C-alpha cells in the first residue's frame, strides 16, 4: 500500500512536555500493575532475568489517544472523539508520532520513554508492507495494530528499585498532568482487585503432528529447489479459558521471567507475551536488533545442562540458521541506516532462561538523517527470525502452510516514543485471550538439514512455559480435547465429517445439549427420549443402541472434566447412504460450563421479542438447521439482552432462542402453545415437579404481556436449569420469590455453584 496515501488530519493539541514524580509502590511492580490491569488501554512491559536489556519495568494506562487498525482502515480516538480512516495505518502512525514529537533529549535513565504509544503491531500488518497472498483464516478478527498513548507512565528501574510516574502536559490544559498523576496515585492506593484464577481447557493444535511434519517436508522441498533458504513454521494451540488473564500473565512471569514480558488490555481481548527477543530498539539515531535462533531445553542436572548448552554452541545447523537471519537483519537495517554503520558486535551469544538455552546476535546501526521510527519499522517488519529468508517468499510459504492468521504472534509489542525512542519485542511465546478462548503459537526455523520430528519437538519445548502455566503439559498438547466419534475416543480435530455427508451439505442432522455435574446427568433419559423421537421422525434407520451414560462418562473423564459442571453435546449427521450399512456420524464432545448468571452476576435474564417470526415444522426437532435461533441470539446480544423471545406468526410466544419459557400464576402453570417449538427437556422436568407439588399444568397460547403479568416467568434450559425472566423489551418484572431456586434444587442437585443469590 502506498505510504503517501492521505490520512486524517490531527487537529488536537500536541504535547508540550512531561511531568515526572517519584512514587512509592504498595508492594512489587506486578502487584501495582494488577490494579491497572482491568482498565482498557493498560499496557504492561515487564522485564525479568538479569540480561542487559531487562533494566526497566514500564506500565502505561489511562490512554488519551488510541490508534486501532483493522483490514484496510482503522480508527483514531482522541479524548473520546473518533475519526475513521482508510489506507495505510503506518502513515497514520507517522502522523501521530510527528504531531506529538517532544523537544529535547531522548529517554533518560529514570524513564527510557517519556511519552508515546504502547501496544502491539500484529504480524498481519505485513499485508500493508508487501503484496502477499491471504489464504489463511482470520478467525480472531482482532486489530492489526493497537496502540495507546497513556496519560500516565509508571517506570521502575530494576537496579535501584526507584519508581517514577510520568505524565504528558498540554499547554492549553495546565492542570492535566497533575490530575493524571493524582489519578495514578489513587489507583495505586486502592485495594488489589479480586481475580478469578485462570482456568484453561486442554489445548488442541491447528496442525496434527503428521500435518506439522509434512509441512516441514514441503519447506525442505522448497529449499532443495532453491526457492527459499529458511522458513519459520508455527502451529497454534487453542483452548477454552475462564478467569483473569492478568493472573495468567503473573503466573507466567513467576514461572519463567524473560526480558520482554508484556500484557496488553485491549478491552475485548488481552495479549500475554513472555518473549525473550528484542526486535528493534531506538534511542535517537542509534538502533539495535537482537535476533534469536537455536534452542535447546535446560538439563535436569548441571552436567546435563552444560552438555545441552555446548551442543547448541557447536551446532552447525543452528549456526547456519542464525547467520542467515543476521544477514537478513543487517540488510533490513541497511535500508534506513547510514552506509557502513550496520555492525554485528556480538554473534552467537548463549543466553539461558529457565526452560531453554538460546543463541543470540546483536546487530546495531545509526539511522540516516531524516529517518524515523516508522521508517525503521517499515524496513524491518516483521522480524526475519520469525519469517525466514528471503523474507517475502518465506511469508508466502507460511501463509500457505499455516491454517490461521498469526495475529499478534510474530508481530511486535512494546513502545514507540514521542521522544525518538522505540523498544519492540518479537511477539513469540505469546497468547491471546478473546471470546472465552486462549490461543497461543509456537514454531521454529526450518533449514536444509532440518529433521521434521525434531522440528516438531523443538516447537513444544518453546511452548513449555505457556503450556505449564495453562495447566496443560506440552506433551499432551498435540492431541488436545477428546471426542467420542463413531465408537472410539479420538482427538477432537480427528472427529470429522466427509463433505458428502448430508449433515454438512443440507444441515440434515440432530443434536442434544445437556449438562453433567460430577458424573451426574439427571435429565439424561429425557434427552435420549427426545433425541430418539426426532431420529425416528427424520432418519432412515433405527436410533443408535448405545449406553449414552457410559459414552458420556468416557468423554468427560478423557477431558478431565468429571469433577466440575460440563456441557456435553451429542451430534448426529445423516450421512450419504440410502441403505445399510449406514454412514451416519455420531459425535459426543465435552467442555467446561459456567452458569450464565455466574458470568453476568444478574438476578435473572433480560428478554426481548425477536422481530422475525417463524413457522417451521422442523423447529419441533433439534436439527442442525438452527440458524434462526442462532441469529436471534446474536440479535439479543446486539441489543444488550440475554435471550431473544421467538414469536409465532400470530404474535404468541414460541420459545427463547436457547430456552423454553413458562408462566406461573397462583397454582397454574402455562406452557406456550406453539406449532413449531422444540419440546424443552428442562421445561418438561419443571412441569413434572410442579405437578408433584399440586400445581395444574396446561398448554395454552401465551403473549409477551402474559409473561409480564404472571406471578413467575421462567426461562429454562438443561444447562442452566430454571432462571427468572426479569425484563421483556425493557419492561422490568418484579423480583421472584425463589420458586426457581426450589425447582432447581429438586431437579438438578448441585446446580447452583457460583450463581449469585
The domain ranges of the chain are 17-476, 482-593, 597-747
Mean pLDDT for all residues in the chain:
88
pLDDT band at 537 (very low <50, low <70, confident <90, very high): confident
**pLDDT at residue number 622:** 64
| 470-486: average pLDDT | 61
**Better pLDDT: 444 or 689:** 689
**Residue-wise burial string across 419-458, b where 16 or more C-beta atoms lie within 10 A, e elsewhere:** bbbbbbbbbbbbbbbbeebbbbbbbbbbbeebebeebbeb
Q: Looking at the predicted structure, is the pLDDT value of residue 706 above 50?
A: yes
Query: Is residue 458 flagged as an active site residue?
Result: no
Contact by Cβ (8 Å): 187, 60 = no
**pLDDT at residue number 457:** 87
Residue-wise pLDDT tens digits, 641-698: 999 999 998 999 999 989 999 999 999 999 999 887 777 899 999 999 999 999 999 9
Q: Looking at the predicted structure, is the pLDDT value of residue 753 above 70?
A: no
Contact by Cβ (8 Å): 86, 323 = no
pLDDT band at 378 (very low <50, low <70, confident <90, very high): very high
Helices 29-36 and 245-255, axial angle in degrees (round to 10): 160
**pLDDT at residue number 461:** 74
Three-class DSSP category at 58: strand
Which residues, 6+ apart, have CB-to-CB distance to 149 below 8 Å?
63, 64, 65, 66, 96, 100, 115, 116, 117, 118, 168
Q: Which CATH superfamily is domain 17-476 in?
A: Anthranilate synthase (3.60.120.10)
| 4-8: average pLDDT | 46
Which residues, 6+ apart, have CB-to-CB distance to 305 below 8 Å?
298, 299
Q: Looking at the predicted structure, is the pLDDT value of residue 45 above 90?
A: yes
Element (H, E) at 721: strand 721-728
Q: Which one of 77, 141, 186, 277 is the catalytic residue? A: 277
Closest by Cα among 754, 755, 606, 748 to 686: 748
Three-class DSSP category at 647: strand
Q: Looking at the predicted structure, is the pLDDT value of residue 418 above 90?
A: yes
Contact by Cβ (8 Å): 152, 143 = no
* Alpha-carbon span 415 to 409, nearest angstrom: 17
**pLDDT at residue number 679:** 78
Q: Looking at the predicted structure, is the pLDDT value of residue 320 above 80?
A: yes
**pLDDT at residue number 667:** 95
**Residue-wise burial string across 496-512, b where 16 or more C-beta atoms lie within 10 A, e elsewhere:** ebeeebbbbeeebbbbb
**pLDDT at residue number 471:** 54
Taking the C-alpha atoms of 101, 104, 106 and 112 in order, what is their torsion angle to the nearest 10 degrees? Answer: -90
| 8-24: average pLDDT | 80
Element (H, E) at 310: helix 302-314
Strands 643-647 and 605-609 turn out to be parallel
**Residue-wise burial string across 223-244, b where 16 or more C-beta atoms lie within 10 A, e elsewhere:** beeeebbbbbbbbbbbbbbbeb
pLDDT band at 476 (very low <50, low <70, confident <90, very high): very low
pLDDT band at 478 (very low <50, low <70, confident <90, very high): very low
What is the number of other CB atoms lying within 10 angstroms of the CB of residue 169?
Answer: 17
The CATH topology of domain 482-593 is D-amino Acid Aminotransferase; Chain A, domain 1 (3.30.470)
Q: Which one of 126, 293, 391, 462 is the catalytic residue? A: 293
pLDDT band at 477 (very low <50, low <70, confident <90, very high): very low
**pLDDT at residue number 736:** 76
Query: Is residue 293 flagged as an active site residue?
Result: yes
- Chain CA centroid to CA 301, Å: 36
First to last CA, the chain: 56
Q: Which CATH number fits domain 597-747: 1.20.120.1200, 3.30.70.20, 3.20.10.10, 3.40.640.10?
A: 3.20.10.10
**Residue-wise burial string across 670-683, b where 16 or more C-beta atoms lie within 10 A, e elsewhere:** bbbebebbbbbbbb
| 582-598: average pLDDT | 88
* Alpha-carbon span 315 to 309, nearest angstrom: 10
Q: Which of 314-318, 398-402, 488-492, 690-694 is most confident? A: 690-694
pLDDT band at 5 (very low <50, low <70, confident <90, very high): very low
Three-class DSSP category at 319: helix
pLDDT band at 98 (very low <50, low <70, confident <90, very high): very high
Q: Looking at the predicted structure, is the pLDDT value of residue 588 above 90?
A: yes
Closest by Cα among 438, 464, 414, 478 to 256: 464
Closest by Cα among 165, 209, 205, 200 to 36: 165
Amino acid at each position: 500500500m502506498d505510504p503517501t496515501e492521505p490520512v486524517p488530519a490531527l487537529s488536537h493539541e500536541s504535547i508540550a512536555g512531561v511531568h515526572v514524580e517519584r512514587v512509592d509502590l504498595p508492594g512489587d511492580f506486578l502487584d501495582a500493575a494488577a490494579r491497572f490491569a482491568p482498565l482498557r488501554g493498560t499496557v504492561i512491559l515487564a522485564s525479568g532475568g538479569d540480561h542487559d536489556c531487562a533494566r526497566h519495568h514500564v506500565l502505561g494506562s489511562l490512554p488519551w489517544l488510541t490508534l486501532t487498525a483493522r483490514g484496510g482502515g482503522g480508527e483514531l480516538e482522541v479524548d473520546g472523539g473518533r475519526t475513521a480512516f482508510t489506507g495505510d495505518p503506518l502513515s497514520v502512525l507517522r502522523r501521530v508520532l510527528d504531531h506529538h514529537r517532544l523537544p529535547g533529549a531522548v529517554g533518560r535513565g529514570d524513564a527510557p520513554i517519556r511519552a508515546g504509544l504502547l501496544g502491539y503491531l500484529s504480524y498481519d500488518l505485513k499485508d500493508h508492507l508487501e503484496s502477499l497472498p491471504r489464504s489463511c483464516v482470520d478467525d480472531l478478527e482482532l486489530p492489526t495494530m493497537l496502540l495507546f498513548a497513556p496519560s500516565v507512565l509508571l517506570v521502575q528501574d530494576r537496579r535501584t528499585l526507584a519508581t517514577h510516574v510520568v505524565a504528558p502536559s498540554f499547554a492549553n490544559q495546565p492542570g492535566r498532568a497533575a490530575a493524571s498523576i493524582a489519578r495514578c496515585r489513587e489507583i495505586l492506593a486502592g485495594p488489589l482487585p479480586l481475580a478469578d484464577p485462570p482456568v484453561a481447557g486442554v489445548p488442541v493444535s491447528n496442525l496434527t503432528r503428521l500435518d506439522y511434519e509434512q509441512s516441514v517436508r514441503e519447506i525442505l522441498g522448497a529449499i532443495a529447489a532453491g526457492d527459499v533458504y529458511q522458513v519459520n513454521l508455527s502451529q497454534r494451540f487453542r483452548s477454552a479459558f475462564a478467569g483473569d488473564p492478568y493472573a495468567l500473565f503473573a503466573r507466567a512471569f513467576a514461572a519463567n521471567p524473560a526480558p520482554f514480558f508484556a500484557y496488553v488490555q485491549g478491552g475485548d481481548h488481552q495479549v500475554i507475551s513472555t518473549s525473550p527477543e528484542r526486535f528493534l530498539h531506538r534511542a535517537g539515531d542509534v538502533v539495535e536488533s537482537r535476533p534469536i535462533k537455536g534452542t535447546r531445553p535446560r538439563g535436569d542436572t548441571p552436567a546435563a545442562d552444560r552438555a545441552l548448552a555446548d551442543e547448541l554452541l557447536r551446532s552447525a545447523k543452528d549456526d547456519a540458521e542464525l547467520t542467515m537471519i543476521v544477514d537478513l537483519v543487517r540488510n533490513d537495517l541497511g535500508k534506513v541506516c547510514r552506509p557502513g554503520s550496520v555492525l554485528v558486535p556480538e554473534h552467537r551469544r548463549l543466553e539461558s532462561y529457565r526452560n531453554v538455552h538460546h543463541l543470540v546476535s546483536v546487530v546495531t546501526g545509526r539511522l540516516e538523517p531524516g529517518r524515523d521510527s516508522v521508517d525503521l519499522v517499515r524496513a524491518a517488519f516483521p522480524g526475519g527470525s520469525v519469517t525466514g529468508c528471503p523474507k517475502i517468499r518465506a511469508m508466502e510459504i507460511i501463509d500457505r502452510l499455516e491454517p490461521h492468521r498469526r495475529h499478534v504472534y510474530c508481530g511486535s509489542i512494546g513502545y514507540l516514543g514521542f521522544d525518538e525512542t522505540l523498544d519492540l519485542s518479537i511477539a513469540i511465546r505469546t497468547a491471546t485471550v478473546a471470546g472465552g478462548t486462549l490461543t497461543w503459537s509456537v514454531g521454529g526455523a526450518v533449514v536444509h538439514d532440518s529433521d521434521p520430528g525434531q522440528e516438531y519437538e523443538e516447537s513444544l519445548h518453546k511452548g513449555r512455559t505457556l503450556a505449564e502455566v495453562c495447566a496443560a503439559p506440552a506433551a499432551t498438547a498435540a492431541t488436545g480435547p477428546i471426542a467420542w466419534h463413531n465408537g472410539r475416543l479420538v482427538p477432537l480435530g480427528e472427529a470429522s465429517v466427509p463433505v458428502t455427508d448430508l449433515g454438512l451439505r443440507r444441515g440434515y442432522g440432530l443434536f442434544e445439549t445437556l449438562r453433567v455435574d460430577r458424573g451426574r446427568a439427571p435429565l439424561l433419559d429425557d434427552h435420549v427420549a427426545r433425541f430418539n423421537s426426532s431420529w425416528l421422525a427424520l432418519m432412515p434407520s433405527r436410533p443408535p443402541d448405545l449406553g449414552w451414560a457410559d459414552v458420556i462418562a468416557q468423554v468427560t473423564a478423557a477431558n478431565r472434566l468429571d469433577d466440575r459442571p460440563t456441557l456435553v453435546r451429542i451430534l448426529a449427521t445423516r450421512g450419504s447412504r440410502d441403505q445399510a450399512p449406514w454412514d451416519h456420524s455420531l459425535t459426543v464432545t465435552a467442555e467446561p460450563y459456567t452458569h450464565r448468571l455466574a458470568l453476568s452476576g444478574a438476578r435473572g435474564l433480560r428478554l426481548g421479542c425477536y422481530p422475525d417470526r417463524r413457522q417451521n415444522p422442523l423447529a419441533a426437532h433439534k436439527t442442525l438447521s438452527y440458524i434462526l435461533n442462532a441469529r436471534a441470539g446474536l440479535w439479543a446480544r446486539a441489543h444488550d439482552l440475554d435471550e431473544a423471545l421467538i414469536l409465532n406468526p400470530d404474535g404468541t410466544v414460541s420459545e427463547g432462542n436457547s430456552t423454553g419459557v413458562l408462566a406461573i400464576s397462583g397454582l397454574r402453570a402455562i406452557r406456550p402453545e406453539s406449532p413449531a417449538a422444540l419440546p424443552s427437556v428442562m421445561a418438561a422436568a419443571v412441569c413434572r415437579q410442579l405437578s408433584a407439588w399440586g400445581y395444574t399444568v396446561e398448554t395454552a397460547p401465551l403473549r409477551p404481556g402474559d409473561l409480564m403479568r404472571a406471578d413467575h416467568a421462567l426461562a429454562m434450559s438443561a444447562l442452566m436449569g430454571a432462571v427468572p425472566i426479569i425484563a421483556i423489551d425493557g419492561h422490568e418484572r418484579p423480583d421472584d420469590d425463589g420458586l426457581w431456586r426450589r425447582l432447581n434444587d429438586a431437579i438438578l442437585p448441585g446446580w447452583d455453584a457460583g450463581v449469585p443469590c
